[in-house]
Amino acid sequence: MEYAAPAELPLVHVPADRRRLYVRLPGLDNSLWFVDTGYSQTTCDTDWIEEQGIASRRSLVFSRSGAFSGWVPLRIARLPAFTLGDHRVDEMACPSRDLQATSSIKDERVAGVLGTNLFRRFTVVLDMEAGVLRLHDPDELRVDDGVRMRLSWEGARAELPLEIGDKRRFPLFDTGATGTYVNARPHDLPLLVEREVTWSSTGTRPDKKRVVQYYRADAVGLAGTPLEEGLTLLHQPWHKPQIVGMDLIRHFNITLDYVRRRCRVEPVTAARLPVDATR
């Protein structure tokens, strides 16, 4: 890994997904990638790997992602050295699978998922006000005075403090999730509605259904920074992963210092992101 000036990657949506985040990587043939801080391992799409002429091999490794996921087998490829802005990333192993068939990503142009094994090499700034993702040399941008965050036992993913009323918990910081899922029971929140929904994620059938309960929280904060408006939370049983999703994340500029396990959160008005429809 060779660090240089901060890389600044414009954030975009795609036509079928206007709530989550994507970026183009000029250093990888200007390919389109899904930004998923809740995913441990950067993963490539099998079709994109073949189009790039990158060899892959079968493996005994399986992947699981998200709160309601199944398991899918992975092939293993190795990306050549590439650049992120002026940073140079050494040759990197990249598990591969058919993303459109085995995940919630349906845009066939998406080359892969950027996960935490890449992000934790940097101090990451998710600037929702400017609509950019910045990747800094962790020795150049330090968050020594920030709020302490945790790293999960699985994949060292960021877990940020979430305040609901006078209670605090540390759910997974997950830009790959549209909603915020927490166990609503301890907070005595009012139930808004209960409905059956369908969803797709790693290893699930596209018509998978579950009953979801929606609760309203009027006093919500992220890393000690209050959200001016309330938030509708999706109930998640205590034994399943708790998740901070894009419905909350989009209200803040967020800096993640994985080395020092510190974060900084600033309330902002999010930019309206462009929709990338380029073939």
Distances (CA, A) of 250 to 8, 74, 219: 18, 31, 17
Query: What are the φ and ψ backbone dihedral angles of 71, each rounded to 5 degrees?
Result: -120, 140
Same domain, residue pair 194 and 76:
no
Final residue before a domain boundary, out of 113, 136, 159: 136
Same domain, residue pair 11 and 128:
yes
Same domain, residue pair 124 and 33:
yes
| Structural domain includes residue 271 | no
State the CB neighbour count (10 A cutoff) for residue 88: 14
Most distant CA pair in the chain, distance: 55
Q: What is the rounded distance in angstroms from the CA atom of residue 132 to the CA atom of residue 125?
A: 8
Q: What is the CA radius of gyration of the chain?
A: 18
| Measured distance between the N- and C-terminal CA atoms of the chain, rounded to whole angstroms | 31
With 0-12 / 13-18 / 19 or more C-beta atoms within 10 angstroms meaning exposed / middle / buried, residue 37 is buried
Same domain, residue pair 131 and 26:
yes
Residue 64 confidence (pLDDT): 54
| Digit-coded pLDDT (tens) for 239-269 | 889 999 999 999 999 999 999 999 999 999 9
Are the C-beta atoms of residues 149 and 263 closer than 8 Å to each other? Answer: yes
Q: What is the rounded distance in angstroms from the CA atom of residue 219 to the CA atom of residue 165?
A: 5
Q: Where are the alpha helices (DSSP H) in the chain?
A: 46-51, 99-102, 116-119, 246-249
Residue 201, both tokens = 């994620």
| Structural domain includes residue 116 | yes
Residue 67 confidence (pLDDT): 44
- Alpha-carbon torsion, ordered 97, 99, 102, 105, to 10 deg: 160
Contacts for 223 with CB less than 8 Å, ≥ 6 apart: 146, 147, 149, 160, 161, 263, 264, 265
Following DSSP, what letter does each residue of 198-245 receive, concatenated? Answer: E---TT--TT-EEEEEEEEESSEEETTEE-SS-EEEEE--TTS--EE-
Question: Nearest Cα to 273, choosing from 252, 249, 250?
Answer: 250
Q: What is the rounded distance in angstroms from the CA atom of residue 264 to the CA atom of residue 126?
A: 10
What are the mean pLDDT values of the chain's consecutive 10-residue runs (279 residues total)?
Answer: 97 97 97 96 94 79 50 80 96 90 91 96 98 98 96 94 96 97 93 82 60 94 95 93 97 98 98 95
Q: What's the CATH code of the domain at 207? A: 2.40.70.10
β-strands 243-244, 172-173 pairing: parallel
Residue 85 confidence (pLDDT): 96
| Structural domain includes residue 110 | yes
Could you tell me the strand order of the sheet in which 225-226 lies?
A: 167-169, 162-164, 220-222, 225-226
| Structural domain includes residue 114 | yes
Full-prediction pTM beyond 0.75? yes
Residue 239 confidence (pLDDT): 87
Question: Nearest Cα to 38, choosing from 17, 9, 60, 67?
Answer: 67
Final residue before a domain boundary, out of 88, 110, 136: 136
As for how many domains the chain has, the answer is: 2
Show the domain range for 185: 147-262
